Amino acid sequence: MTAIDEFIKRCEEKSHDKYRLIEDIAYFNQIKVLKAFEKCRVATRHFNGTSGYGYDDEGRDTLGKLYAYSFGADAGIVSPHLVSGTHSLTVALFGLLRPDDTLLCVSGMPYDTIRGVIYGDNNGSLKDFGVNFEYCELKNDKFDFNSIKNKLNNKVKVVYIQRSRGYELRDAFSCEEIGEVCEFVRSLGFEGCIFVDNCYGEFVEKSEPTDVGADIIVGSLIKNAGGGLAPTGGYIVGKQKYIDMIGKRLTAPSIGLEVGSYLGGYQYFYQGLFMAPHIVAQALKTSILIGQAMCDLGFENYPKIDKIPHDITRAIKFDSAENMVNFIREVQYASPVDSYVTCEPWDMPGYDDKIIMAAGTFVSGASIELSADGPVKPPYIAYFQGGLTYEHGKYALERILNKIIKH
């Protein structure tokens, strides 16, 4: 056994209790999803595709209900025509907001790719359509309740919460914290929609934001909820009245959710949701192992290693661009797809800085699969996520350690 093998074994021993807790969460969520399948009476006919208008597409309609029930919501939209998390968020926000309304983000400045959607100039943004935007800075990386109270007024129609950290060096928000801010804004008399960007957070805890006060949650199927099998798509679930409004934006005001076909069929969307609690547990265990190893080597990373993550991402701070880039490249070299590719920073659409991204994935860009990325600028932070199997993550860590320790 090499020194690196022994080091990884010690990290695993330190992580044993956290692994058991993650497995308990996965079992709870697996039962929750199975009960949703039972309630929806899912059958093989639901996997069939449709063409044309897609009237009476039972697979599409049942899939929306299945996601809604899995997340403790009234209704849902699950569609391969939602091309990403950002697109899903965009459709939902445009469905809910009207000219002169205000969108208030209470979790700091939103993630890069949604900023152009909210306040871009002359690009078809919400701002272009007369929707106002305000945000509350975080206080010590937590919700600032005084700032929220000061900025919440009768023009605010949507309170927006981003669960994950984005490209920030902080923890993701727990459902408990989201529940507290939901309760707070309701105590101030807010009667509009509480909206959560749930990307990277699905099935990480036993509860979801819709269980603790959120009216709408949105995510991508090539992250947690698709279980590594969904080939594309996004979901929007929540209260029926808001889903009806959003459905009219997804298609057209006169037809809403009555149409929408997908000839490819829905098997992998159903099967992916079934697999999601287990796959998320694999990603979380990988995150904890990576976090323990990097912590023991002296690299600051979030969440702190004494905590169970609230999403599948881990932020790791490096002392140089070289170490950051080497870390991300080794993730690529350890991938099952495009392992021969050397990652380079590039001007990725929707981002403010050059991004380096490792994603040797079966589904293009799927961050539930082992992947890593980050803007190459000080402080040099790599954002690591995913892992369909713990064993894959362990092997990637072995490669990373061989590279970083030598440098």
Tell me the CB-side half-sphere exposure of residue 346, using CA atoms within 13 A.
7
Per-residue model confidence as pLDDT tens digits over 54-77 = 999 999 999 999 999 999 999 999
Partner residues linked to 236 by β-bridges? 77, 218
Provide CATH code, domain 52-264: 3.40.640.10
pTM of the predicted structure, to 2 decimals: 0.95
Fold topology of 3-28+273-406:
Aspartate Aminotransferase, domain 1 (3.90.1150)
Per-residue model confidence as pLDDT tens digits over 278-315 = 999 999 999 999 999 999 999 999 999 998 999 999 99
Does residue 407 surpass a pLDDT of 60?
no
Distance, in Å, from the CA atom of 85 to the CA atom of 372, rounded to the nearest integer, reads 17
User: CB of 193 within 8 A of CB of 101?
Assistant: no
Per-residue model confidence as pLDDT tens digits over 204-258 = 999 999 999 999 999 999 999 999 999 999 999 999 999 999 999 999 999 999 9
What's the pLDDT at 289?
98
For 103, list phi and psi in degrees, rounded to 5: -100, 125
| Omega of the bond leading into 303 within 30 degrees of 0 (cis) | yes
Q: What mean pLDDT comes out for the span 304-327?
A: 93
Return the domain boundaries, the chain: 3-28+273-406, 52-264
